[in-house]
Amino acid sequence: MLEEALSRSFRAVPPRDLNDIRLPKTTVLYCTRSACPRCRTFDGERRTEYERTKYRGVRVLRWDCDDPTLRALALRAGVDVIPAYIEIPTHAQGTFRVVNPE
């Protein structure tokens, strides 16, 4: 529930930088687009199990790259293929890590 509320708030008021959304708990952004066939396949066949295995106990937020502002932030973080995950560490010195599930 909190995850959906955070995702909606990012769409309503996009952060200027991913550093603006460092939260006290490690957060992962799931980057996807509605027109992406690979994303639809991953969502339908593997996403639940992948996240259960790799991100157990971690907050995973949907990052809708249909939105140009959110897409630009994902690109700046290093996303070049979707679907992708951006791992955001809690501490300011930590670096973002992009993970492609395939």
Closest CA to 74 of 88, 89, 60: 88
Say how far apart CA 95 and CA 17 lie, in whole Å.
13
Say how far apart CA 2 and CA 40 lie, in whole Å.
23
Q: Domains in the chain: how many in total?
A: 1
Residue 14: count other Cβ atoms within 10 Å of its Cβ.
15
> What confidence tier does 1 reach under pLDDT thresholds 50, 70, 90?
low
Q: What is the pLDDT of residue 59?
A: 87
- Per the CB < 8 A criterion, the answer to whether 32 and 62 are in contact is yes
> What is the per-residue pLDDT across 58-81, written as a single tens digit (0 to 9) for each?
989 999 999 999 999 999 999 999
The domain spanning residue 35 has which CATH number? Answer: 3.40.30.10
Q: Can you give the residue range of the structural domain that contains 6?
A: 2-99
Return all residues near 91 (Cβ < 8 A) that are at least 6 apart: 22
